[in-house]
Amino acid sequence: MQVTGPRRKNRPGSIFFICVLVFSTLVLTPIYIHQHGISRSEAALFIFYVLATSFSITVGYHRLFSHGAFKANYFVQFLILFFGAAAFEQSALKWSSLHRRHHQYVDTDLDPYNIKRGFFYAHVGWILFWKQPVNYDNVKDLQKNPLVMHQHEHYRLWSLTAGLGVPLLVGALTGHLLGAALLSIGARLFIVLNSAFFINSYAHTFGSRDFDPHSSARDHWLGAVLTNGEGYHNYHHRFPIDYRNGVYWHHWDPSKWMIWILVRLGLAWDPKTIPDTQINEARAAARISHIQASQA
């Protein structure tokens, strides 16, 4: 199947979905909190769902499935696929296919979230106003995984169960159904989706290019804070197979720490790293390239 670029097409369903999230989070949720406050159960459910769904994207969809930066047992994979579906970012198979295409064709017309089309396009415009063709030929390895394929083929069931059914059930059982809807569904999705979107927009706009001066991907501490550590994006584009994005100990990369914990617990294994010699060589080459560019 030939790889083709996006074509202009308004996506009414996606536009409506995002508008509902924005209105719910910025208008309805503050009104609810002002009138009712936040109970402990509401806060606990909200925090749990933010962490579970955001880490399922950064640790799971991204570093595990898209790049194979480590391996995990089926229990961890199931949790990633379950809460990843709750993030409403499509199936792991489709997400990984688009992301692998992003790395292969970064900053070209075939890049699904090409930053050269503008910050808004890379952030959310590519979803709302463009149709992104998907070529699953680049995820044949994932197609051999029965869990990944079940989630892909029954994505609506997975996403509605994990993203709506469970939080609403917990909210009803704790006597806070409306709070669960506004906080653990609406506000949580607003935060988690924008965190993922910042990887495509912020992390390709602000920061330094210490490892690959030719890519638009950049490293920035604030980008890392906004994205569970994915903001050290220039390093990631230079060495995508490394399970770390923040390669140094002082880098904020909770996704890296989560993988490290899973490995120590025996739930994951084979975390891939790039040797220090290669990292230092890349830094040195990038530094020379920056100096030459400034003198040209």
Is the pLDDT score of 3 beyond 90? no
Mean of the per-residue pLDDT values for the chain? 96
First to last CA, the chain: 42
pLDDT score for 295: 76
Name the helix (H) or strand (E) containing 7: strand 7-8
Determine, yes or no, domain membership for 150: yes
Give me 170's structure tokens: 């917990």
pLDDT digits (tens, 9 = 90+) for 201-225: 999 999 999 999 999 999 999 999 9
Residues 53 and 228: their CA atoms lie apart, in Å, by 11
Share of the chain above pLDDT 90, in %: 95
Residues 285 and 35: their CA atoms lie apart, in Å, by 57
Determine, yes or no, domain membership for 1: no
Determine, yes or no, domain membership for 77: yes
DSSP codes of every residue in 163-228 = IIIHHHHHHHHTT-HHHIIIIIIIIHHHHHHHHHHHHHTGGGTSSB-SS-TTSS--B-HHHHHHTT
pLDDT score for 296: 67
Determine, yes or no, domain membership for 2: no
- From residue 262, give the alpha-carbon distance in Å to each of 11, 75, 145, 269: 38, 11, 20, 8
pLDDT digits (tens, 9 = 90+) for 59-115: 999 999 999 999 999 999 999 999 999 999 999 999 999 999 999 999 999 999 999
pLDDT score for 1: 57
Residues 84 and 189: their CA atoms lie apart, in Å, by 11
Q: How many domains does the chain have?
A: 1
| Residue 265 domain boundaries | 7-295
Residues 214 and 274: their CA atoms lie apart, in Å, by 20
Q: How many helices (H) and strands (E) does the chain have?
A: 16, 4
Taking each helix axis as running N to C, give the angle between helix 146-153 and helix 74-85, from 0 to 180 degrees, rounded to the nearest 10: 20
Determine, yes or no, domain membership for 217: yes
pLDDT score for 23: 98
Among the listed residues 44, 50, 201, 188, the one whose alpha carbon sits nearest the alpha carbon of residue 126: 201
- Compute φ and ψ for 136, nearest 5 degrees: -80, 5
pLDDT digits (tens, 9 = 90+) for 13-51: 999 999 999 999 999 999 999 999 999 999 999 999 999
Give me 8's structure tokens: 């202009």
The β-bridge relationship of strands 268-269 and 130-131 is unpaired
Please compute Rg for the chain using Cα positions: 20
Give me 76's structure tokens: 């961890």
Is the pLDDT score of 290 beyond 70? yes
Classify burial at 65, counting beta carbons within 10 Å of its beta carbon; exposed 0-12, middle 13-18, buried 19 or more: buried
